[in-house]
Structure 1
Amino acid sequence: MKILFLAPLSPKTGNHTTAERIRSHIEAAGHTCELRDAADFQTPAQVTNLVSRNPPFDAALAIHLYKAGRFLLDMAAPFGVIFGGTDINEDMKVEQKRVVMEQVLLKARFAVAFTDKLKEEAELFLLSQSSKIYVQPQGIQTEAAEQFCWTEFLKSSGVSSQRGDELRVFLLVCGLRRVKDPLYLVEVFSEWHCEDPLNVLVIIGPKIDPALTVEVEAVTQRTAGVFLAQERSQQELHAAVKRCFAVVNSSVSEGMSAAILEAMDLGVPVLARDIPGNAAVVQHEFTGLLYSTPQEFVHQSQRLLSDQALRERVVRNGKLYVEEHHSLKQERETYQQLVDSLL
């Protein structure tokens, strides 16, 4: 079967990584899967023309009901959709987008939500299509680069590496866009750093929003204890995660943060902002720590510093959680079965 796969594909984002992984699952089952960036299309007619070319596509798949799914509405071929966090957390609030998302969900053969919470929200705010919404958490597989120099990483990020082994590096992994709120902790973290210079915050991720990138660059240059690192390959990023003290999430909204799950899989504690998408995967004091304000972030970080038993518990349970609930094998089987249903 020849399948068109539409998704928002900004480089080195969670969507891109997820789409590539799902494509590999589909192709492993013997299908041909062509991944295209939804941003390359302006109208459903363009996708309809693409699908009907010889040889035509037999079916389609899309990540994000609004950003990508809307382009499949005029297509005769069957399709399935995968919810993105933005669908439920942001696009649902805009009536015009919500109506389009309902149309996409009605026409889709199936829809996939990463968590039970996302499925519940979809059922609550969209026309009830409960029977066609499946829950399949993201499959996680981490691989750290073998050739990685932590000291060089710190130096290139602007961090003085003279006491590199003593530093407690909090790594905020996120694309630079508003929904990730990368500056949320900066002021309070800097105050904490001034009290204890061994605590530093390094922000790392692709520069997606140009205006926000300029702002983040300016703020980090003038703020003590907070640094902006150049984005790295996934293997290098995983190597950096393994060396850091904790991975931080400060997003306003999340579907399912791969950075959080990857940190858990790599045996690193997670400090995540207490929002529904994060609370769905981080159980406070069991698989990680949640915070609701910058001040609470510092408090939870201090607990992680002083309570070794707490640190060991969240690391152990976080890794077990990923192994039990985010199996790559289970994800592969689910998508292969769902794609077969498009025949």
Structure 2
Amino acid sequence: MILLVTPAARASVHGNDVTAHRWRSILTELGCDVRVANGYEPGDYTALIALHARKSADAIRTFHAEHPGAPIVLALTGTDLYPDLVTSGVDPAILTLASKIVVLQSQALAQLSDEQRAHTTVIVQSMPDIPYETPRHDVFEVSVLAHLRGVKDPLRTAEASRLLPADSRVVVSHAGAPLEADLARLAREESTRNPRYRWLGDQPRTEALRLLARSKLLVLTSHDEGGANVVSEAIAAGVPVLSSDIPGSRGLLGDDYPGYFPVGDTEALAEALHAAETDRNGYYERLRTACERRHDLVAPRKERAAWSDVLTELSLPVPRPVAS
């Protein structure tokens, strides 16, 4: 039995909880028994997989004490890695307890020491193809799938939409839970006074993915990301992305991706939105083609194969063969 610890609340529809339950599914397919918990729960375990070094630190320490010698896989999240491990409050001792470190995109390796990189693997979050949804024809709909947290800079797209020309057809549909009261108040006010913006509140995962699939663009405005699920989802849906220029997105979309704008730069985002809407100099098509080229990166078979390799390396029970 593998214990998989995630600090996310079970009701969450994004982030760590989505990752944890997808990993449980993958590990089950590979022949493992997996128990998902929000902290350490007593049991007879062969290994621990822990999401988030800081928030899962107590679970990691307890597991190590109760199961000395059993392997620990530590998945580092964005709030572990950025701006750096020390500033984020990650206990160095927790890293030394990990038999294996997992990061979610290639540029995260730059945040680690040579010694840490030696036992780190990159496992990109996968997503099956998301069925096509017919876009709205009356507007150029842009989606934001981000909970209302400061690190997400969740109202930046709304602010950028106010700078668009009067004849722009851009509307912003924003799905996300009100995790910070001040931001929720601002989102409600923005929905009232900005005709281009609608905050939809928290949405069931199926509805959020349908919104994404019908959108012309996904906009990610975060200050930091470890490797956002929503970018994998956009690639799987064939929806181009505009993203703040952060390592977490560069590690997924590539350094040559044409859809970055400086973090917090409202004017630059507005310019990118207008260029995409009008397909100025083929900009929208370049975004679409660049995302299409990344499609294989998020293929579920690749994530399964990566976890199969981790299990084998840690001498855990031999997993079932991975389909090619």
Q: Which amino acid aligns with 1:318?
A: C
More helix by share: 1
Structure 2 segments unaligned to the other structure (5+ residues): 317-324
* Structural RMSD (CA): 2.4
How many matched pairs?
A: 305
* Structure 1 position 319, deviation (Å): 2.0
CA distance in 2 between partners of 1:252 and 1:16 (Å):
20
Deviation readout 1:31-70 (Å, 9 max, x if unpaired): 21111124xxxxxxxx3xx33x4xx122211011111144
Deviation readout 1:128-182 (Å, 9 max, x if unpaired): 32221112211222434x8x897xxxxxxxxxxxxx5221111111112111111
SS in 1 for 2:113: helix
* Structure 1 position 271, deviation (Å): 0.9
Aligned residue runs from structure 1 range 94-243, under 5 A? 94=87, 97-98=89-90, 100=91, 102-123=92-113, 128-144=115-131, 165-192=137-164, 195-196=166-167, 198-243=169-214
Identity %: 21
Structure 1 residues 322 and 135, CA gap change in structure 2 (3 angstroms): same
CA distance in 2 between partners of 1:130 and 1:105 (Å):
11
Q: Which amino acid aligns with 2:156?
A: Y
State TM-score, norm by structure 1: 0.81
Give yes or no for contact 1:143–1:235 (8 Å, CA) kept in 2: no
CA distance in 2 between partners of 1:326 and 1:36 (Å):
26
* Structure 1 position 266, deviation (Å): 1.5
Match of 2:77 in 1: 84
Structure 1 residues 298 and 211, CA gap change in structure 2 (3 angstroms): closer
Match of 1:272 in 2: 243
Q: Which amino acid aligns with 1:314?
A: L
* Structure 1 position 13, deviation (Å): 1.5
Give yes or no for contact 2:163–2:270 (8 Å, CA) kept in 1: no
Structure 1 residues 179 and 242, CA gap change in structure 2 (3 angstroms): same
Deviation readout 1:222-253 (Å, 9 max, x if unpaired): 33321101433333322222222211011111
Structure 1 segments unaligned to the other structure (5+ residues): 39-46, 151-163
Match of 2:60 in 1: 72
State TM-score, norm by structure 2: 0.85
* Structure 1 position 263, deviation (Å): 1.5
Match of 2:259 in 1: 289
* Structure 1 position 85, deviation (Å): 1.1
Give yes or no for contact 1:109–1:342 (8 Å, CA) kept in 2: no
Q: Which amino acid aligns with 1:132?
A: H
